[in-house]
Structure 1
Amino acid sequence: MSMSTIEIYCDSCDYCVNDTFMWGRFDYAFDDYRLHVNREKGWCNDCKSFKAIEYFAIPTEEEPLWQGIDNLHKTVLPNFWRYLFLRLTGRLWLIKNDLDKIKERYYSMYLLSKRQDKVRCLACGSCEVQPFRDKSKREHESGDFSDYATKMIHPGCGGVIHCRSTGMRLHMRFDNVRVYSPEGEYLGEEKYKTV
Structure 2
Amino acid sequence: MSVPHSDIYCTQCDYHGRTNILNGGYWYYHEGVFCHLDKQYGWCQNCNGLVPMELLHDLNDQLDDALDEIAEKVSRLVAGKVRFNFTEASRSETESTLGTIHAIKLKYQIHSKRKGQERCLRCGSHNVTPAEEFNTLRKRIDEVGQTATGYRHPGCGGEFVLVPSAMRLRISYRPKCYTFDGEFIDDVLPNPRYD
TM-score normalised by length of structure 2: 0.80
Task: Supply the AA of the counterpart residue of 1:160.
Answer: E
DSSP 3-state at the match of 2:97: helix
When residues 139 and 189 of structure 1 are mapped into structure 2, their CA distance, relative to the original with a 3 A threshold, is: same
Unaligned runs of 5+ in 2: none
Post-superposition Cα deviations, 1:108-130, rounded to whole Å, max 9, x if no partner, equal 11011111110000111111111
Q: Tell me which residue corresponds to 1:154.
A: 153
When residues 105 and 156 of structure 1 are mapped into structure 2, their CA distance, relative to the original with a 3 A threshold, is: same
When residues 39 and 95 of structure 1 are mapped into structure 2, their CA distance, relative to the original with a 3 A threshold, is: same
Q: Tell me which residue corresponds to 1:182.
A: 180
Distance (Å, rounded) in 2 between the aligned partners of 1:139 and 1:61: 23
When residues 168 and 35 of structure 1 are mapped into structure 2, their CA distance, relative to the original with a 3 A threshold, is: same
DSSP 3-state at the match of 1:91: helix
Distance (Å, rounded) in 2 between the aligned partners of 1:63 and 1:191: 25
DSSP 3-state at the match of 1:112: helix
Distance (Å, rounded) in 1 between the aligned partners of 2:21 and 2:88: 44
Task: Supply the AA of the counterpart residue of 2:37.
Answer: V
When residues 82 and 30 of structure 1 are mapped into structure 2, their CA distance, relative to the original with a 3 A threshold, is: farther
1:88 aligns with 2:92: no
Q: Tell me which residue corresponds to 2:43.
A: 43
How many residues are matched?
A: 191
Q: Tell me which residue corresponds to 1:7.
A: 7
Q: Give runs of aligned pairs for residues 66-145 of structure 1, distance below 5 A.
A: 67=67, 71=71, 75=75, 81-82=81-82, 84-85=84-85, 87-88=86-87, 90-134=89-133, 135-138=136-139, 140-141=141-142, 143-144=143-144
Q: Which moved more, 1:75-84 or 1:95-104?
A: 75-84
When residues 163 and 101 of structure 1 are mapped into structure 2, their CA distance, relative to the original with a 3 A threshold, is: same
Distance (Å, rounded) in 2 between the aligned partners of 1:173 and 1:140: 21
Q: Tell me which residue corresponds to 2:54.
A: 54
Does the 8 Å contact 1:46/1:126 carry over to 2?
yes
C-alpha deviation, 1:54, in angstroms = 0.5
Does the 8 Å contact 2:43/2:49 carry over to 1?
yes
Percent identity over the alignment is 23
Post-superposition Cα deviations, 1:103-161, rounded to whole Å, max 9, x if no partner, equal 121011101111111000011111111112233445545x33x2111121110011111
1:172 aligns with 2:171: yes
DSSP 3-state at the match of 2:101: helix
Task: Supply the AA of the counterpart residue of 1:168.
Answer: M
Q: Tell me which residue corresponds to 2:19.
A: 19
RMSD: 3.2
